[in-house]
Each structure stands twice: as C-alpha cells, then as structure tokens.
Amino acid sequence: MSKEESEIKTTNEPKPIGPPKTVVREYFESFVVTLIMAIFGMTFILQAVTVPTGSMQNTILIGDYLLVNKFIFAPSGNPLPFLPQRDVRRGDIIVFKYPGNKVHPENDRASGIVPYQINYVKRVIGLPGETVEFRNNQVYINGQLLPEHRVLGDADDNQSALETKEFEPREGDELHDVYYSERKMKYLQAGRDFSREGFEFGVPGKPMVVPANQFFVMGDSRDNSEDSRFWGFVPRELIVGRAMFVYWSCDRGASNGSMVGCLTNPRLDRIGKMIK
C-alpha cells in the first residue's frame, strides 16, 4: 500500500464514538437544560404572579395570572444603550414587594401581612420629585389635573368584575380608565368628601413630594385600593417588574378557590390580554 493510500484510508476511518445514549439519559439531559433555562428566565427575565384582590379592577381581574417583565426597568434608572431597558414611566402597571405601612404598622399586623414578602400590583402615578395630591376623586401632579377617564364601577361581590357606568365623556387624552364607587361619587357631588378617609399621603390640602428613587402608586379601582395614599411610596429597589399580559384567568367565584376549579372554569376572553 502506498503512502498516499494509507493517509486516505486513515482519514476516512470513522472516529471511535462512546456508547449510545439511553432514552432515560436523553430525557434527563433535556430536562436539566430546560430547568436551567427556566430558572434563569424566572430569576432575571420573567415572573408569573396571580392577582388575589380587586384593587386593579377592571384593568386586572381577580383570578388573572400575569406574566411580569423583570428586565425592562434599569435598576439605577439609567438604562444601558445596547439593552432593551428603560426607566419607570407614569402609567406603568408594576409588580413590587409591599414596603409596609410605616405610619400604622399595626394595620399590617392586624391583617397578617408581612412587609417585603408579598407582591402588590398597582399603577405608577407620581414620579420622583413630583408633587402629588388626591382630592375630589381626582389626582393632581404638580398642581395640574392628571388626565384620567373616570368611570362608575361597583361589584355585586368580591370576586366579580365591576359593573360600570359612564360618568363623564371621554376626552381622548386620558392616560387610562379608573373606577369609583357610584355611592361615594354621589356623596362627593353632594358636598361630602371622603377623600381623607384612611389616607395619610397626598391628602387634600397636604400634597406630598415623591422622594428620590421612589414612586407614588394607586390602584385603578380607587375606592377598593390600599395604595400609596395609605402607606406611602414604593422604593425603586422593591420593584419586581412591569405586568405584561394575562397568561391564564379563572372565575374565582365558580372555582370556589380550588386549583382544579380554576383549571375547569377559565375565562378564555382574558387569556392573552395585554395589560395597559
């Protein structure tokens, strides 16, 4: 055999391979890779949360399961130019760790709420350095009326969506819809202002300046939301991310609070709904 033939034969010989993978090993490796990717995604990019209360109705309903973008907000407020990040904006619906009621901590203890361990969902209303005042069921930022479309909304029970009625014409420049109890709105029109009831921050005649790196948040169901008006501001470092869309939704009333009932009583019209 010539030298050239020997080299060709050596080159064409198949390389030795190890023993073939078993089906169990292939499934195990796929599982490990998927698990690592899921942990990475849930830690740095996405998070799933559920909504147990009606403070954001009808924007978000009780029983909605949300996917949260944890990557969108730059931690320092100064996003790097090559990353798809930005600062927190007014109108963003954010998920954050509840900071606790510093004025009346006994309220948290009475409700069994432990600060920093439960996620809240609210809408950003006031930005750092802005002056916020809530009076006559309206929000004022730096003395100027915040354009919000006010709607009358009441629920028959604690699980259902609000039954709504138009209260004032839509102007077209409103940032979002907000909902007020018809009874309390009538009281207000009759000269009985309940705006101070339970409020400590941004009460009528006592506007509050939002501290640096903190935010003033409120629920869209204004008469059913304990928010910054009650317990104060949300520090930037407690913000988990921005609510993106509803990936699952169930009728909590029909499901009786059980997981199986939630799976068998879906609200199909809510699934895939973008949160804005």
Task: Encode pLDDT of 176-196 as tens digits.
Answer: 999 999 988 888 877 776 556
Please check whether residue 6 lies inside any domain of the structure: no
Supply φ then ψ for residue 154, to 5 degrees.
-135, 150
Predicted pLDDT of residue 51: 80
Please check whether residue 238 lies inside any domain of the structure: yes
Predicted pLDDT of residue 270: 93
Predicted pLDDT of residue 89: 95
Please check whether residue 41 lies inside any domain of the structure: yes
> Which residue from 99, 94, 95, 96 is spatially nearest to 115, judged by alpha carbons?
99
DSSP H or E run through 112:
none
CATH code where residue 119 lies: 2.10.109.10
If one counts the domains in the chain, the total is 1
Please check whether residue 242 lies inside any domain of the structure: yes
Please check whether residue 4 lies inside any domain of the structure: no
**Residues in the chain with pLDDT values less than 50:** 7-9, 27, 29, 31-32, 34-44
Q: pLDDT per residue over 63-106, tens digit each?
A: 899 999 998 887 766 666 767 788 999 999 999 999 999 889 99
Q: What sign for the dihedral angle of Cα 215, 124, 51, 273?
A: negative
Predicted pLDDT of residue 35: 45
How many whole angstroms from its chain centre is CA 46? Answer: 12
Q: pTM here?
A: 0.80
Q: Compute the distance between CA of residue 50 and CA of residue 66 in angstroms, rounded to an integer.
A: 6
